Each structure stands twice: as structure tokens, then as C-alpha cells.
A and B are shown apart, each in its own frame.
Chain A
Amino acid sequence: MNPIIELNNLTFRYHKTDERPALNDVSLKIYPGEWVAIIGHNGSGKSTLAKTINGLLAPEAGSVQVGDYALNEENLWSIRHMVGMVFQNPDNQFVGATVEDDVAFGMENQGIPREDMVTRVEEALKQVRMNEFATREPARLSGGQKQRVAIAGIVALRPGIIILDEATSMLDPEGREEVIATIKKIKEDNDLTVLSITHDIDEAANANRVLVMRQGELIDEGTPEKIFSAGPKLVELGLDLPFPEKLKYSLSEKGIDVPETYLTEEGMVDWLWTSVLKK
């Protein structure tokens, strides 16, 4: 299978004089239908990476390929049609004066006829369960609702790839769960590729593959199980541990033998009750 996103030896500096590049020789491949999470602490270059994929930032060296297009002046807008991006701040990416206007904004840019827009706005809002709020203004919506509108705006454009650039980092736990569940469902329904850039370990646990970044470099990749089994090393990278790992760590400090491999919350529950039965 051909990768849908391919980055080769990408290097990027914000200022020519910066000693350390924001991205240093990054290469990666993402395949259609995958959910890939990129994790790393602040300033590790995650967001920069996301912005170079659809040409919001131009790399200093290296190449970007999205689908059949290599990123250059000519293909820039074709690539942007294929890649939808949801950003961090729900307020600052809301362009429209009402929910439906915001969802229609991207379609207006592509010159889609009005009749099509009306049906697609309605469909997209239904998919994120915001159809009752179509005529509301952003000032009257919660953070999670605004992010769902942002997702609807992208779903309406029917891209093949969605990039979540810390899309849940300004939301409360409830809003975060809401948004992740929405993305999951939309990914299944529309067979999308999702690239999520996040601090949130629980969001990363949903992924098929996790990439770890530090100081502009990709330092590790693998399944969430593999990455999270690194345990306390993750903390050294400036990341939080998933809850089952924390529990395992506290248990082993109390002198209880715990399994070496990574367990999900369910796996942890299974192991706990079987181990109690064995005693």
C-alpha cells in the first residue's frame, strides 16, 4: 500500500539564525486509514510538523508528499483540499458568525454551489450532533461544541485526512471525550486517515501507531502498547503516564509483582481480579 503522507528528511527553522531547528531531519510515512498520534513535550516540534504537511509552513530542506501530490506552490491548494485541520483554540478558528456559516466557510472557498452547501452543512452538523445549534452564535457555545463545529466544517469538505493539532488541549475532560468520540465515529464512517498531535495520553491510546518527538526529532515509534510500556522513561520525555501504568508503578513500589507488558485499563482490571483469585 502506498503511504498517503510521506515526509522525507524534513528540516525547518523558524528563524534562519536559530541554532536548533524546530524540525530536524524528520522522515515518516502514514498509510491510508491509519490513526497516528504524535506525542512529545512542549516545543518538541509536533505542531510545526503538522503545519508543514499542508504547506502552512515551508520546510528548509526535505520533501512532503500527500497522496499523489508533492508539496509545492502549484499543488498547495490541492493538498489543502485533501487535508482538514482542527486547531487548538476553539474560539480563534471559528470564522463564521453562526454555526452554519462556519461549516459553510470552507465550501464557499472551494466554490461549491449553494444547493450542495445547504445539504452538506446539514449532513455534517448531524454527524457531529450539532444540528440543533445551526443558527447559534459562537459566543453561546461551549468549547467542546465549538470544536465539534470545527470538525463539521472539515467533514463537509470531505477530505481524506484530518489533522488534529492539539484539538482537545483547551477542553475540559468532558469536552475532550466528546470530541474524541466524534472523531472516532467520523473516521469509521468516512474511512479517514487521522493524524492527531497531542499531549493527551488517553487520546494517543486510541491510535494505531504512536510517534514520539523530542527536540525536533522523531525518537521512537510503535503501537501504543509498545510506547507506553517504556513506563517511567516517558516521564523523562516530559510526558504523562497512562493511568494503568501509574497504577502498576505504585503497586510494584508496594512490592507486588506486576506484568512487564503494557496493559489497557480493561487488561489491568482483568489482571487484577485474576491475580486476587489466584491467592
Chain B
Amino acid sequence: MADGKKKIPKLSYPMPQQDPKERIKNFDEVALGYDMEVAIKEAERCLQCKREEGKEICIDGCPVEIDIPAFIKCIREERMEDALNIIREKNNLPAICGRVCPQEQQCQKYCRLGKGKGRDPVSIGRLERFVVDYSVKKQSVDPLKKKDKKVAIIGSGPAGLTAAGDLAKLGYNVTIFEALHDTGGVLRYGIPEFRLPKSIVDREVEYIKKLGVNIETNVVVGKTIGMDELIDEYDAVFVGSGAGSPMFMNIPGENLNGIYSANEFLTRINLMKAYKFPEYDTPIKVGKVTAVIGGGNVAMDASRCALRAGAERSMIIYRRTEEEMPARKEEVEHAKEEGVEFHILTNPVRYIGDEKGNVKQIECIKMELGEPDESGRRRPVPIKGSEFLMDVDTVVVAIGNTPNPLIPDNTKGLKISKKGTIVVDDNGKTSIDKVYAGGDITTGAATVISAMGAGKKAARAIDKFLSS
């Protein structure tokens, strides 16, 4: 425990941010990060708890079990390289985790300091981010001893990159096959620049490559190469192909012009840089009034992108209340600061278009909350006769994604659940001997960090399988 006489500030040190009025005019990162001085002060708030039987601390809340007190101690002592090495030991993508993990539900939830009344937990995510950003130029990789075994990884999202990094560190020859022209999966096409700069994704992917991982873009497994070929040619295969298939509500008018899935909207903006059209060739059309349907992080991202891409008004339409929103509190706050309007307990019923086939109105219905459903959240029930019209130019449907069916459909003998996910055991092993899977393809749409945790677990299992 820390010295009892030393007074620990109750609140964590805030991280500087771009002013909302300014930031809605650009795609630059909103959160600007700690500097050394503040990072050390924040690090000094840490109680340096020890991990003991029956006592849960921050490490227990981290899906990849980073030794958090140890790296924080290094920050205090200004040993940044050591701090980075401690983080890297467990986490291949720390600059990303420090930015997009919901720490309030993970490490910081377990922080013992934060259990005290009126006290903030240590800002572990901000410190992790500081260490990696600070040490970026000093990332060296020791030459690794290679084994003579090959592992194929399908998908370069968080699950695939993590599994690849861990397996490379163990000496395996790893090749990642990626369907898009660029790496990162949702880190690249989904999460916008202002939350996760693509230069950060590039940097983390570079690190994975330095570990000796070979990445082949423009390869759609199941089309460009058969799954059976990979199973033949490699000693093991890891499927991390994600849940990238967008859901629509199947209500009248949903195919009118101006209505995008969140995946299309965000892919055009993030992957194709349509916000820089015509410097970049991919166009996007964002009208004056944009409505985003849904209440998750993806909906927040889309609503905030719309403002930056020129919408005068950006609205969230969500069928439950703010309490049930799956989006991180911080993201909801950021969206509100930027002027996104929230229409809760509201659900679209149909879309109305003009003579050219462009959407011009949404008919919505008011909802109330009924009994809890299988997710534990109270079920929204439409209020009869409460229909009303809203004028809109652009609609983004962000109600969720389902697993991409390409691999399940093209792999003989692979056990698939009713929801289209690949069935795996506790170690990420599928119904086929050499094939492992993890991330959204096994769970349905979830978080970046849970995908990374699954990639890590599968890498361990693959190593065990190949070592026996």
C-alpha cells in the first residue's frame, strides 16, 4: 500500500481534449493524451496493490491480464521503456486498447482506489496510452527463434492481430489473410479517426510485422483461397473474420437513397476517406439532417462522423432510454458535447421518399419500456397511435451486425450456431481439429478487447496443440 501519510488526490487527472466547437470541424483525435508530468502524477495515485488469493485487483479486470501495478510503477520512476515492455508482454495492441477499451467496465472497475467514496479509480487506460505514445520510436524487437510450423490467420482485426502477434512471439511462421486492401478490420473501417487515429493502427500493425508476421491483403478466404487449402497447407488455422454483416430493420422504404448501413457509412468515411472527397475518389453524401438509428458505440461514431462530414443536425434515434444504451458513457457524453440530439424511446416504422427515390421523412413511433427481455434490459413496446413524422436527408442504420457468413458457408464440417457464429470450446477450438476461432465470429458483435482476449486464448491453445 502507498504511504498512508501521503495524500492521494480523490479525482483522476483529466486528459486535455479538443474543444467541441472546434473538433466537429475536423477528424483529428478528440482526446489529446497526458504529458509526462501529469502521467507521473496520475501514476502516483496508484496504491500498488498486490495480487492475492481472494482479493480482486485491476489485473483481474483486464481481459489480457497486463501487470498494471508494475507498469505504473515504472512510470513513476520514469522508466518508460520498461513500462512498455511490461505492457507488450501481454498486449500486442496497447495504443489501441488505451483508447478504445471500456476501462470503466474492466481494469478500472476493479481498482481498489476507486472503491473509496468519492474517489476516481486510477486512469489506467490513459496511462497505458501515454506509455505507448511516448515510447513509439523505441520499439525494438529481439530476433525470434523460429519453429518450423506455420499458422494461417483469417482476418486482420483485433482478434487476428493479437493471435498473430502472440504466435509470432512463440516462434511460429504466421500469415494473416485479409479481405480488404488494408489491415485492422473494425479498427480501420469502423472506429473513426477522431477516436482512433489510423496512424496509430498503422504503428501497431508495423509492430506485428516486426515480429515476423506476414500479411496478405486482398485475399478473401472462401473465395480467393479455399478454406480446405489453408487447412491442408498450414499446421493450424485461426478464424477471426468478425461480425461484419450489417442488419437492417426490413421496414418499408429502407432501400431509398440516403439510407446507409453504419458499415457502409463508416467504411466510406474511415477506410476510403470520403470526407476528403474529391481529393480521394470515394464519394459520400451527407444531407443537412442526419438520423442514426441505434444506441451502440457504432451509432455514436456515425452520428459524430455525420457532423464532421457536414450535417447541420445529427440525431440519434433509440428505442429504449439512455440508461439501456450499449454505447460507452464517455462516447455518449462526447456526442452530446458536440451537439448530437438524442431521441429516446423512439423507433422508425417506415421511410418516405421523394419522386427521385431520396429519403425525405421517417415515420417513427413512440415506445415505452415493458418487462425485461432475454438480454435483461426492459423490452421496448410501441405506444399505439403515437406515430409522427421527422424530416431527414440522410439515415444511418446502426442496429447491429451479424457474423460474416463467407467462412461458415465455405467450410465443410465446421459447426455453426443458429445465430451464424462458429461454435468453439473454452480454448477457441472449433469442430475441425486444426481450426480455431475467436472474436466476433464466435460471439456475435462484441468489443475490441474481448476479441483480443479471444485471440490470445486461441494462440495459447494453438501453441499447446502444436507442441504436443
Bind each other: no
Query: Which A residues contact B (CB, under 8 angstroms)?
Result: none
